[in-house]
A and B are shown apart, each in its own frame.
Chain A
Amino acid sequence: MPKEPVAVVGIGQTKHVSARRDVSIAGLVREAAVRALEDAGLTWADIDAVVIGKAPDFFEGLMMPELYLADALGAVGKPMLRVHTAGSVGGSTALVAANLVSARVHRTVLTLAFEKQSESNAMWGLSLPIPFQQPLLAGAGGFFAPHVRAYMRRTGAPETVGSLVAYKDRRNALKNPYAHIHDPDITLEKVQSAPMLWDPIRYSETCPSSDGACAMILTDRAGADRSPHPPAWVHGGAMRSEPTLFAGKDFVSPQAGKDCAADVYRQAGIGDPRREIDAVEMYVPFSWYEPMWLENLGFADEGEGWKLTESGVTELDGDLPVNPSGGVLSTNPIGASGMIRFAEAALQVRGQAGEHQVTGARKALGHAYGGGAQFFSMWLVGAEPPTR
């Protein structure tokens, strides 16, 4: 029996901000879930199962969100699952939900991811004072900056490429009412004159800390027929993992990321991603990850990704817009960031991205990664139902 096609019929986000002191975590997730239900024209009773994801436990000190949030998410009497995969969790959570529909286990699933970074300890929640180890910790930026330098050395990319990404994403964010950072006075000079925090990563080229949640309603073909708005259809989805550190690991272009993308393209029948995909929402927490992932995901040959960025191809009006929403660089509730990528890809092919809509987008890729560049999750969504 072929798989059931999966449709995204509801999407809801909170306005992402640095601190939502007016709501509890339950109130925050509820807001996103209610917006997704409204978008889908459904009620709690229409939901068969709930799949949630969040960042690692000690980020927020919230150990059992599935227990605490069951009533806020209408999960009473229904299956409720929680997914863990560090920063990629929003993506893998959506894929677990999609698989439940695709396998005909459930017909309509609410999937949601969140984080209240203002109530978290994301900087040190994973950097524990392990006995006998040397306390030489530089935070997430310190972990990733040497890999950025390695990319620059490997490809000969000009030093300005990172600032171009940040300038683009922050301008795109101005067109997205849900984005956290709205800086109407942004200029390239401003990006380039920001202090280096972890040289070669500038302050202006790092993601913010955000409070926010994102929810989606996934359903089967019959559910899609009842949808009040055009659905996005899942054409392919995959996850891959590898160890954090191992001899031979390529941090600049991890094998697990390449394999994950290849699997998604195979499922979706994509032969040439650069030509066949109209918009990409990729997980770029530090600006240089845009050219790095352009290569890892097969949009450019090795060493060539920065040229797409530099020549404007990834701009909102370029021929491969990357992060039209403003991306992780403009909005980062870590646990939700992956799902926001998946949801924004779906908004593009539904034609519902508003001011940051990519004209005529028919196929879009949502991408997330997490841990020490070790977990990858991606989906490809289209405006038409899959034919394969």
Chain B
Amino acid sequence: MPDVLSAPLVVEFPFTRSLGPVQSAFLTGLRERTVLGVRTGDGKVLVPPVEYDPVTAEELRELTEVATTGTVTAWAWNPAPRRDQPLATPFGWVLVKLDGADTALLHVLDAPGPEAVNTGMRVRIRWAPQRTGAITDIACFEPYDGEATAESTPHSGEFADPITGIVTPARLDYTYTPGRAQSAYLNALAEQRIVGERCLSCRKVYVPPRGACPTCGVATAEQVEVGPRGTVTTYCIVNIKAKNAMNDAIEVPYVYAHIALDGAGLALHGRIGGIPYDQVRMGLRVEPVWTEGGRHPDHYRPTGEPDAAYDAYKELL
């Protein structure tokens, strides 16, 4: 299939998280080289701690300090570390039951190779030199030659200057392909033509086309050039600047309009220019204004024709 477009799409936001009392104590503790667990009603110590008992659902608040040494309960070797993983050299993913804890913590083990790792081996925490109150304050685990001795000891969970929230970036990397119909539409736009597709069943013309009619569920293949002129069917006046780099260039107020291009079965959305914002009206006749190198019309401007009658566009709002 020729001319199908493709481009990277990165979706990324730095989400914040309030920690609540238990996670706040746990992460602040790591900053202070203190590992805290939580004691359940039946006396088990869970590390990392959770707010609610995974068996009984009871609220858990009794914090307890465990050792910084422990035993590997399971592991897997990672021969090729990826971006943002804890170590840049090959390492072991390990579940470590810290001395004094009844559950294991997932982390990484710095070891020369898989032959140096075994279930039951003794390990200890290697602290990060700079600690901020995050799980990465534990840089990794490392082999340790010493017996398990520590019992857990009750801890108030109180520290000076506690960490109460963290930022958890979420990122997805996609390759976006708009598909056959959208690619044909975009390629026509490059020639300053607006081409939709007609549904063979209901005869409506979709602009932009999607390759199928959402009402009839059939493929749309018949290409139809629409416009370039059209009618403003409805609109709003945007008075607030969007906190979004993508349309920072647009000064407010501006008119965000639904425009039914002549021959189209539904309105598309565009900006109206070339007329004071407070003189835009429903029924205004407009045409696209193209800019050099732009993939889309920059905006639409009045054609000077008489306004369309309401009855002519009322089904296209």
Residue A130 is within 8 A (CB to CB) of chain B in the complex: yes
Chain B neighbourhood of A149, CB < 8 A: 234-236, 282
Chain A neighbourhood of B270, CB < 8 A: 134, 136
Interface size band for B: 35 or more
Residue A138 is within 8 A (CB to CB) of chain B in the complex: yes
Contact residues, B178-236 vs A (CB, 8 A): 178, 182, 186, 199, 202, 204-206, 213-215, 233-236
Residue A259 is within 8 A (CB to CB) of chain B in the complex: no
Chain A: residues with Cβ within 8 Å of the partner, total of 66
Please state if A195 and B20 are interface contacts (CB–CB under 8 Å): no
Residue A20 is within 8 A (CB to CB) of chain B in the complex: yes
Q: Which residue of A lies closest to B257 (CB)?
A: A146
Residue A243 is within 8 A (CB to CB) of chain B in the complex: yes
Contact residues, B3-50 vs A (CB, 8 A): 5, 7-11, 13, 15-21, 23, 50
Please state if B18 and A24 are interface contacts (CB–CB under 8 Å): yes
Q: Which residue of B lies closest to A135 (CB)?
A: B246
Please state if B238 and A198 are interface contacts (CB–CB under 8 Å): yes
Secondary structure of the A contact surface, majority rule: loop
Residue A116 is within 8 A (CB to CB) of chain B in the complex: yes
Q: Give the distance to chain B from A313, nearest Cβ to Cβ, in Å.
A: 27
Residue B52 is within 8 A (CB to CB) of chain A in the complex: yes
Chain A neighbourhood of B10, CB < 8 A: 129
Q: Which residue of B lies closest to A146 (CB)?
A: B234
Q: Which residue of A lies closest to B297 (CB)?
A: A134
Give Cα distance in the complex from A251 to B236, angstroms. Answer: 15
Chain B neighbourhood of A188, CB < 8 A: none
Residue B97 is within 8 A (CB to CB) of chain A in the complex: no
Give Cα distance in the complex from A123 to B242, angstroms. Answer: 10
Selected from B59, B258, B266, the residue in CB contact (under 8 A) with A146 is B258
Please state if A130 and B176 are interface contacts (CB–CB under 8 Å): yes
User: Which of B102-110, B111-119, B163-171 is near enough to bind chain A?
Assistant: B163-171
Selected from A74, A118, A200, A246, the residue in CB contact (under 8 A) with B266 is A246
Q: Which residue of B lies closest to A57 (CB)?
A: B170
Selected from A118, A147, A197, the residue in CB contact (under 8 A) with B239 is A197
Contact A248 to B178, CB < 8 A, known contacts A24-B23, A26-B20, A198-B236: no
Give Cα distance in the complex from A76 to B69, angstroms. Answer: 31
Q: Give the distance to chain A from B188, nearest Cβ to Cβ, in Å.
A: 13
Query: Interface code A230-268, partner B: CB below 8 Å = 1, 0 otherwise?
Result: 000000000000010111110110000000000000000
Query: Interface code A124-139, partner B: CB below 8 Å = 1, 0 otherwise?
Result: 1101111110111111
Q: Give the distance to chain A from B297, nearest Cβ to Cβ, in Å.
A: 8
Give Cα distance in the complex from A125 to B164, angstroms. Answer: 24
Q: Give the distance to chain B from A103, nearest Cβ to Cβ, in Å.
A: 26
Q: Give the distance to chain B from A91, nearest Cβ to Cβ, in Å.
A: 23
Please state if A71 and B15 are interface contacts (CB–CB under 8 Å): no
Q: Give the distance to chain A from B198, nearest Cβ to Cβ, in Å.
A: 10
Please state if B242 and A137 are interface contacts (CB–CB under 8 Å): yes
Question: B residues engaging A (CB < 8 A)?
Answer: 5, 7-11, 13, 15-21, 23, 50-57, 59, 164-165, 168, 170, 176, 178, 182, 186, 199, 202, 204-206, 213-215, 233-240, 242-244, 246-247, 250, 253, 256-258, 265-266, 269-271, 282, 295-296, 310, 314-315, 317
Q: List 5 A-B contacts (CB under 8 A).
A: A27-B51, A135-B244, A137-B242, A243-B214, A252-B317
Question: A residues engaging B (CB < 8 A)?
Answer: 20-27, 30, 44, 58, 60-63, 70-74, 76, 116, 118-121, 123-125, 127-132, 134-139, 141-142, 145-150, 153-154, 195-201, 243, 245-249, 251-252
